[in-house]
Amino acid sequence: MSPDLKKSAARPLSFLLPAVASAALWAAWLGWDQHRDTHPDGSTTGPYEPWQVIGLVLTLLVPVCWGALRRHAQGAVVGTSAGLTIAAFYDWSDDATGLFMVGVTLILLGSLAATGTVAAVLRSRSESRPA
């Protein structure tokens, strides 16, 4: 396979793989928990527990770090954010209030900021290391 063909095939995959991975991780960590917990005082929480969100964030580090360290930081950032945004939209779109779009927008902006920061730190560290 020629180097140009490898480069042209790697570009879409650098976006697609993190997007699919992040959507699958959303489903694994958050997709199965759809009910709110009612406490004795009548207040409700949920549907997600803190450990689920922490688990999602920690496992999302894998595709972001993988992409950033292989010089595909842009694909890792945009792909991961796109996958999370699509998963959140799908998961929350049955909300009758219509406020789910606020949450989806916050997922998009927050994941872009977080993955961008992680990728930038990893890229700067890997470039500063002697060869």
pLDDT in tens, 14-62: 899 999 999 999 999 998 877 788 888 988 777 888 999 999 999 999 9
Tokens 């890792």 -> residue = 76
Among candidate residues 2, 11, 3, 19, the one with its CA nearest the CA of residue 77: 19
Residue 8 lies in a domain: no
Question: Could you tell me if residue 10 is inside a domain?
Answer: no
In a domain, 1, yes or no: no
Question: Under a CB-based contact definition with an 8 Å cutoff, are residues 92 and 100 in contact?
Answer: yes
Structural domain containing residue 73: 15-32+44-128
Kindly state whether residue 87 falls inside one of the protein's structural domains. yes
Per the CB < 8 A criterion, the answer to whether 89 and 108 are in contact is no
Residue 22 CB contacts under 8 Å (≥ 6 apart), including other chains: 60, 63, 79, 80, 81, 82, 83, 84, 87
Query: Mean pLDDT lowest for which of 74-78, 91-95, 100-104, 115-119?
Result: 91-95
Q: Residues near 46 by Cβ (< 8 Å), separated by ≥ 6?
A: 33, 35, 36, 37
pTM here is: 0.83
- Determine, yes or no, domain membership for 68: yes
Burial of 58 (0-12, 13-18, 19+ CB in 10 A): exposed
Does any domain span residue 3? no
Domain tally for the chain? 1
pLDDT, one tens digit per residue, over 103-125 is 999 999 999 999 999 999 998 88
Residue 5 lies in a domain: no
